[in-house]
């Protein structure tokens, strides 16, 4: 390799190192990966809004759009300050009977009744 070629190779390595430093200023691959993941999340938030109002489809079968906002059953339970776990279970079943998969609407309603009976027992201290 000639001196000119060696100089060219050194300049190329120096330029590459400088570009790499600009592209990834982190000291470890883990830091770089974490930064890239955060950038991806921020891009999604920037595109879809911090509350997800621009998402085209719900995040799960438990999500529903209310007044432009995606919410799930847990958001509703929190909004209404439901604290009894048996009440919460019954409400979840009644919000979408027969729509969650394995059980039909009748079975979900029957299980909601059982949960409400248990909620009453919990409230009465039994």
How much is the pLDDT for 41? 72
pLDDT (tens digit per residue) in 67-88? 888 888 889 999 999 999 999 9
Helical H segments across 1-126, by residue range: 3-23, 29-48, 73-79, 85-95, 105-123
How much is the pLDDT for 12? 82
How much is the pLDDT for 86? 92
* CA 120 to the chain's CA centroid: 34
Q: Which two tokens stand for residue 1?
A: 């390799």
Non-local CB neighbours of 82 within 8 Å, separated by 6+ positions: 88, 91
66: helix, coil or strand? Answer: strand
Q: Which bin fits 74, alpha (ψ -120 to 50), beta or left (φ > 0)?
A: alpha
Per domain, the residue ranges of the chain are 3-48, 63-123
Q: Which residue ranges in the chain fall short of pLDDT 50?
A: none
Q: 69 φ, ψ to 5°?
A: -120, 130
Q: The whole model's pTM is what?
A: 0.51
- Cα separation, 100 vs 6, whole angstroms: 67
How much is the pLDDT for 20? 64
Q: Which two tokens stand for residue 121?
A: 């027992």
How much is the pLDDT for 21? 61
How much is the pLDDT for 110? 93
């Amino acid at each position: 390799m000639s001196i000119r070629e060696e100089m060219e190779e050194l300049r190329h390595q120096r330029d590459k190192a400088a570009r790499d430093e600009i592209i990834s200023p982190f000291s470890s691959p883990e830091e770089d990966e974490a930064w890239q993941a955060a950038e991806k999340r921020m891009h999604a938030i920037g595109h879809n809004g911090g509350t997800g109002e621009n998402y085209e489809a719900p995040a799960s079968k438990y999500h529903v759009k209310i007044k432009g906002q995606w919410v799930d059953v847990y958001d509703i339970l929190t909004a209404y300050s439901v604290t009894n776990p048996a009440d919460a279970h019954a409400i979840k079943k009644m919000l979408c009977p027969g729509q969650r998969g394995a059980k039909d609407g009748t079975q979900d309603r029957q299980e909601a009744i059982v949960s409400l009976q248990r909620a009453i027992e919990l409230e009465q201290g039994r």
